[in-house]
Amino acid sequence: MKVAEIGTGTGMWLLDLASQLPESVQLDGFDLSEEQFPARYIWPANVTFDKLDAFGDVPDHLANKYDVVHLRFWCCIVRNNDPTRLIRHAAGLLKPGGYLQWEDANTGKTVVRGEIAEEFAKVVRSTFSAEELYFE
């Protein structure tokens, strides 16, 4: 099985996944910049990180290679409310019948439920002034 994450940043999602899956699963993280990649000496044997523009063409050696493509927190990056090129890129990495998993934030409407969430909400408030929080 092969999993790719595009816009992987620090690679924390992939590294967490690596700790829960067998080493036979190949996990590849891609990002426009390698600045946030974890230090190479902590990469598990089945994890790699590489530079790749998620709005560009998929190189031939990566085309249709992945069972799962994961994206997270692209809401601040997609311009003009048009994710077409990003979706085309993600689909180009996927094998036919593969899965696209996309997690994102509903910015502008964040629901806060429970004590721990309320503590976190205080931090969010001081960091993102435009964020509206709805306490339940």
Ligand X SMILES: C[S@@+](CC[C@H](N)C(=O)[O-])C[C@H]1O[C@@H](n2cnc3c(N)ncnc32)[C@H](O)[C@@H]1O
Chain residues that interact with ligand X, rule: CB under 6 A: 6-10, 12-13, 31-33, 36, 53-55, 72-73, 77
Q: Where are the beta strands (DSSP E) in the chain?
A: 2-6, 26-31, 47-51, 66-72, 94-103, 110-112, 133-135
Nearer to ligand X, 95 or 102 (CB): 102
Helix (H, G, I), strand (E, B) or coil at 75: coil
Between 23 and 53, CB nearer to ligand X: 53
Smallest distance, ligand X to C-beta of residue 13, A? 6
Residues 37, 48: contact at Cβ < 8 Å? no
Q: Among residues 89 and 121, whose Cβ is nearest to ligand X?
A: 89
What's the CA angle centered on 95, arms 90 and 97, to 5 degrees? 100
**CB 7, min distance to ligand X, A:** 3
Q: How far is the CB of 92 from ligand X (least distance, A)?
A: 13
Residue 8 CA to residue 121 CA, distance in Å, equals: 25
Cα 9 from Cα 20, distance rounded (Å): 20
Nearest distance from residue 22's CB to ligand X, in Å? Answer: 23
Nearer to ligand X, 54 or 121 (CB): 54
